[in-house]
Structure 1
Amino acid sequence: MRLSAVWSEALRNLATGTSRLVIAAAVLGSALAGLSVADGSAVVSLVDDAAGYRAAGSAVSTLSSTGRVDGGACEALVGLPDAEHAGAMRRAPADLVALTMPASPIPTYEVTPGFAALLTGSMTDAGLLVSDAAAEALGITAGDLLQTSDGDAPVDATYTYPDDGRRSGLGYAVVIVTGSGTYDECWLSQWPQSPDSTGLLATVLTHQPADPSGRDEAPVLSQLNGRLGAAMDAASLFDLRPTRALPWVALGVGALLGVVLVALRRLELASARHSKVSPHAQLLQVLLEATAIGVTAAGVMAVPMTVVIARAPVEAALTLGVIGARTAVLGAAGLVVGAVAATALVRERHLFRYFSDR
């Protein structure tokens, strides 16, 4: 049987419904969509959990040692692998007094530029930062002049520091960016978290004791917000998610459907063999038909998966695309393998049995 004749027969079967293209693609496409969306939703949930963990400051490690933190050494920690921001802070010698609230000095802190970036989320040249709560109480916004007992001070930026379990102190405060001297604390924001890098926080301490008597308290290494757990291994959670095997389930679903489709056509296939159609030509014909069904099913699956990707966080889009593609390929491959294997098991000598079982 010539190749052109095989192509022609496969196209005819697809066009006339003999291959059950529409219903088979709808069934397989729906199954693949359910599997890929289920796995994709689990991934989106993990991404949201990681984003919430970071937004709460749980990925920020702090080292406290009054007057012993080298600001430059603390800032240099930003060069560590996966480090996002690093900076030092100390309580200012005197709190800022706003003329609109002279009886209520605002807690004031001096910080390095990296600490200001940690608060605002990006590097900034700001000299004066005001927390959202303080800015609301003072009735000011970024760009306004803050009238103080020491003169007018331009507010370069505001920052958010919610009461969500993180250490208190900066929720209602003014932060002044400086760049010299020693500090009381060093903060390191890192994602993914690394215990080795966190341990390097101790390297920012100066060798000179802050207390001339040498009775300094031991440095305290802690987490800015421990409400969501001491650590979050996002990579392990992704690798061990319960839905990780669903793409392989798609392979089994496709294979089962391929077998069923051929089982429904055993009589037709055996009759073709009786009419001198070669087994190799028939296998190629079924392969072509199954491939067409698999490709169509992948197209059906792509519609809901595209919606999931469009609504997902940007950082999850590539992973979701990979999950969708893997599920589609495995499902289509399973269909082809199942259909071809089932066709290879069809025997011409069983023609009358197939007829009686019809």
Structure 2
Amino acid sequence: MACTLAATDGLTIKKIIDDGSEFRSHGAATYIITTERGVDGVSCERLRDINGVRSAGAVRTVSPTPTLLALPAGTLPLHEATRGFLPLLGIEARVAQQASYVISRPAADQLSAESGSDLATSNGVAHVDALYEYPDDGRNSSLLYAAVSVAPKEGRFDECWIQVWPLMDAVPTLLRTTLSASVRPDAKVRISQLNSRLGERYDGLSLYENRLTRYASLAGMALGLCIGALSVRLRRLELAAALHVGVSRAALTTQIALETLTSAAITAALCSPVLAVIAHSAGSVNEIGIFVTEMEVVLASSIGCLIGSVAGTITVRNRHLFNYFKAR
């Protein structure tokens, strides 16, 4: 039963972590400030130095867009971005070079392009450094079918994107610090969430602290206490008989304590592999913390069982031997 409680608590914590990862991976933890040519690229990139900001980069549309010779009837929307923007697309910043493109997977499929290939455009040949995944999962679709090239961070951009985790209330204030001094007070400035489909916030800490299984250790201790007391009650005739033939109470209590500890050690050894697998499935960053939390439940149950068995042994009386015999 202790293993079941511990595993349930571990799976609950894993679910909270997985939901947070999904929230982040679908762009719900990415925020955008938008104002035409009003974002300072250097200020946007500096946001990466703030604790809690995972990535930050500026992006702007390019007009007119170079025509792709492979698409004479249409164009591929082109954006210029600072290097810090690339991690927001799942691309390492060192991959892409200036005067080259990273393009979305749908665009690459239509153009039969791949990483390392070249595209003929009206402005010459453009090299494709990498492809980025941009799921159609409810997020802002501006980069779903597009190409992005790296531009120097010195300059004015249309948007600043930041990914924040864990979420913080200061995001709007941080984004507004990226506005250029030339932006007029009455300029249209919009702050939005890249993907609002999963909700505006995800408070993992609150979910963890208020999870239904947060009392698993107390429940395990109470359960262990009952099991320990019951195990002694079922053996009280045997224990009373031992006292009757001269075994000291101290020796009898020590024996029961050792038996209980041995049983608890075996239980912990059997539970540990299962609990370790659950903890490992939550990711290497979290597995130690989850495993420790799980083992706290097992330990609490063992302590409760020890207290219950020792307390039960102390209550056994030699003079009640006949009563125990009749009630067996």
* Counterpart selection for 1:183 from 157, 164, 169: 157
Tell me the alpha carbon deviations over residues 317-354 of structure 1, each in whole angstroms, 9 at most, x when there is no partner: 22331122112111111111110011111111211111
Q: Distance in 2 between matches of 1:307 and 1:58?
A: 29
RMSD: 1.6
Question: Equivalent residue of 1:36, what SS?
Answer: helix
Segments of structure 1 that go 5 or more residues without pairing to the other structure are 1-30
1:196 aligned residue: 170
Question: Equivalent residue of 1:252, what SS?
Answer: helix
1:172 aligned residue: 145
2:256 aligned residue: 286
Q: Distance in 2 between matches of 1:96 and 1:255?
A: 75
2:50 aligned residue: 80
Offset of 1:267 from its aligned partner? 1.3
Question: Equivalent residue of 1:187, what SS?
Answer: strand
Q: Are 1:325 and 2:299 counterparts?
A: no
1:141 aligned residue: 114
1:24 aligned residue: none
CA contact (8 A) 2:18 2:282 kept: no
Instruction: Provide runs of 4+ in structure 1 moved above 4 Å.
Output: none
Question: Equivalent residue of 2:297, what SS?
Answer: helix
* Counterpart selection for 2:191 from 211, 221, 224: 221
Q: Distance in 1 between matches of 2:172 and 2:186?
A: 22
Q: 1:111 to 1:155 in 2, by over 3 A?
A: same
Offset of 1:124 from its aligned partner? 2.6
Q: Are 1:52 and 2:25 counterparts?
A: no
2:304 aligned residue: 334
Question: Equivalent residue of 2:31, what SS?
Answer: strand
Q: Distance in 2 between matches of 1:193 and 1:108?
A: 30
Q: Are 1:234 and 2:201 counterparts?
A: no
Q: 1:50 to 1:215 in 2, by over 3 A?
A: closer
Offset of 1:239 from its aligned partner? 1.2
CA contact (8 A) 2:281 2:287 kept: no
2:83 aligned residue: 113
1:161 aligned residue: 134
Question: Equivalent residue of 1:100, what SS?
Answer: coil
Offset of 1:309 from its aligned partner? 3.3
CA contact (8 A) 2:95 2:130 kept: no
Q: Distance in 1 between matches of 2:49 and 2:188?
A: 26
* Counterpart selection for 1:248 from 189, 213, 218: 218
Which stretch shows the higher mean deviation, 314-323 or 303-312?
Answer: 303-312
Question: Equivalent residue of 2:141, what SS?
Answer: coil
Percent identity among equivalent residues?
A: 36
Q: 1:145 is aligned with what amino acid?
A: D
Count matched residues: 324
TM-score normalised by L of structure 2: 0.94
Offset of 1:92 from its aligned partner? 0.8
* Counterpart selection for 1:122 from 92, 102, 117: 92
Tell me the alpha carbon deviations over residues 249-300 of structure 1, each in whole angstroms, 9 at most, x when there is no partner: 1111211111111111111211222222222222111111110011111122
Segments of structure 2 that go 5 or more residues without pairing to the other structure are none
Q: Distance in 2 between matches of 1:327 and 1:202?
A: 46
CA contact (8 A) 1:83 1:189 kept: yes
Q: 1:151 to 1:121 in 2, by over 3 A?
A: closer
1:41 aligned residue: 11
Q: 1:150 to 1:218 in 2, by over 3 A?
A: closer
Q: Distance in 1 between matches of 2:84 and 2:214?
A: 39
Q: Distance in 2 between matches of 1:284 and 1:215?
A: 80
Offset of 1:217 from its aligned partner? 2.7
Q: Distance in 2 between matches of 1:181 and 1:313?
A: 39
1:271-310 mapped onto 2 (5 Å cutoff): 271-310=241-280
